[in-house]
Chains A and B, each alone.
Chain A
Amino acid sequence: MAKLDSKIPAGKLEEKWTNHKFNMKLVNPANKRKYDVIVVGTGLAGASAAASLGELGYNVKAFTFHDSARRAHSIAAQGGINAAKNYRNDGDSVYRLFYDTVKGGDFRAREANVYRLAEVSNNIIDQCVGQGVPFAREYGGLLDNRSFGGALVSRTFYAKGQTGQQLLLGAYTAMNRQIKLGKVKLYTRREMLDLVVVDGAAKGIIVRNMLTGEIEKYSAHAVVLATGGYANVYFLSTSAMNCNATAIWRAHKKGAPFANPCYTQIHPTCLPIHGEGQSKLTLMSESLRNDGRIWVSKLKKDMRKPNDIPEEERDYYLERKYPTYGNLSPRDISSRAAKEAIDDGRGAQGQDAVYLDFKDAINRLGKKVIEERYGNLFEIYETITGDNPYESPMKIYPAPHYTMGGLWVDYNLMSTVQGLFVAGEANFSDHGANRLGASALMQGLADGYFIVPYTVGNYLAGDKPVMVKTDHPEFEKAKKNIEEMTAKLLSIKGNRTVDDIHKQLGRIMWNKVGMGRNEKGLKEAIEEIRKLREEFWKNVNVVGQSNDVNQCLERAGRLADYLELGELMALDALNRKESCGGHFREEYQTPEGEALRNDEEYAYVAAWEFAEAGKWNLNKEPLEFESVKLATRSYK
């Protein structure tokens, strides 16, 4: 394959993006309407990219598998969005946001990308305000901020507990405006099933019309994938039911390397599993950790009710192990500590859960203050569990939440497949091995509003790609392959349901490629996934027809991809013989049980090139740190 060229511009960190923008080739305004760009996914990154590209004058074809562009899972982000505005005068700056993000990512992200992210973060806030996003305000009418984990400054902007929703609606309305103006054509209920590559360049996509089952072909001069992450490989995660890896996985199989697949974020504050029928996990906002104290019993198999356990028999393990950050320690560290306590047999009433207790906060501040701050979340908790968190502590448990890995992209957010751009959670670029709170929204919008529109233009002006018609043999071939795969899935008629197999895959992933990983477990996982994949293709039962609404078929196609991706995640985890961020190899830890990085050998991006199912070639992009000094990440 082509050598990985990150195309990081030369020059000082602070000047790279400005210089790069200046050096970019521009498309003559009159020629922009001659270029077609496909955008797949209409979450924060996709909708904002579609809107901005449309504004610039390109013909945009936007695709979503939802019924509406307003439903993408970006909508579920609660807490907020970071920006280096320094409105608080608390010493924040672009550099500090950059530094916090690089450190938060455990020094496994590309410096130049992260700096650019921090740089454009301020534009995002202005942009969203201009669109009518109702950010929280202070009495003086100015924008309000709150603090978030992993930072000592207050830089998070928010709109109630619905920041993601409001930002997505902002991007959605910007896109609607372009739809009205005829610059964006939106295709809903279309699931991307393949990427069409001609002579090494992305020329279009194959989608399934989810209403009629028809396999449709669309061509363009460039393709932007903004299709989110792959946490649903675990079956149970905080991702929405329909989040899936199919678009990026099929692109991967067409030549786009997949980077750092093993970096997954396990969020510490989710609701525990209630039983076998559990369909997904619900996140409780991280903000609860501002006032809640996390603890378990000091005794093993302690079945007493939490309120019956006396103070001296409680272990506030985060406060004990990380006195400085305490209950506000970063996500990966908090999750792992919960796992340790549970593995030690000290889970809440013998369950897979730890307590999040507001008793002290209520005593200190009064019930009314707590109600003002978290009333909404307490209600959600009670709706779901039937327990009242004012009276007894919440039970929480870590859950897969975000995937830092994704398709490999260069500084222009372009894959090694020419003309294939990847934005938002779908790419790997900005969060390294761990993402900080309130940074996902920032990255999605930065990519979509401020980066992709420039870099796509640069590609179109520089490479002058030609558009291929959809009757090109490559399109026909791709379409035929998809039709054959569909027919194959429907013809197996085996004994196991799609969800049954997916749950089994989820258990393998959670137990062996989850919060704690080791060589033996990873090797077993690879074997087990391979076997399960084999079983899937022999024994799954996909009911219904191909020419109709068929949710069973949709799920089966996605699972087929997870069964390959899961193996790659295990392979990548096995390859990375160090612990960093969300990737914790039990063999590599400090005597105190902290992650032990190996900068000598593993300060690189692992970009996997697909050879065939179960076989990948590893390419390494070395990470060079010019501005930041590599250091052990300490929150003690």
Chain B
Amino acid sequence: MGWVWKSLNSSIGKKFVMAVTGVALMLFLVIHLAGNMSLYGGKDAFNNYVGLLEHIKPFIRVIEVILGLVFAFHIFNGIRLWIQNKQARPLPYSVNGSRKNTTVFSRTAFITGSIVFIFLVIHLQSIWYVFNFSGVEEDLYTLTTDWMRVGWYAALYFVAILLLGFHLNHGFQSAFQTFGWNNSKYFPFIKKFGTFFALVITIGFGSIPVYFFLLGGK
């Protein structure tokens, strides 16, 4: 199995890991978003959905562990790539011309990813950890919506989701490129679809703090 490890450690291998874990995380986002949409159905609808997940708790725990590993790989690899890439150009240019030849989304993938990561830690602590492990007997709907009504939290949530959108807009088409699925016939469509996907995720998640904080949703 040495060859697997070696291959994944090559520059293309590392990219491959980024892409595979990225795609897995995108799938998670879709499922998470679908669940979150039930927030708009009110307290009962959402809590019913949560109850459903409670039924298959052991399975969810396994998924959570896998998800955790996927995250870890994505982040660990991302940091490793970032460090190596910085080392590949010890002295930067005095004039930065990257604005002229790249998009803001691809240029800032590491920064947007980092901010999303910080948000993720806060988000997990405040909702997932509190709900599952802190012993507080609050239902998840109340817990979630209460947080959404806290100004700084709603703002952080919104900004993080916006940056996640940036991250996805790069990541979606980037994954296809890394897998080698780039062809002049369908790649333009993939790029557009990636942007569409990023928009759906951003609007979907981003609407939640807007609804509960700004529009006073119950």
Query: Do chains A and B directly touch (beta carbons under 8 Å) in the complex?
Result: no
A-to-B contact residues, CB < 8 Å: none
B-to-A contact residues, CB < 8 Å: none
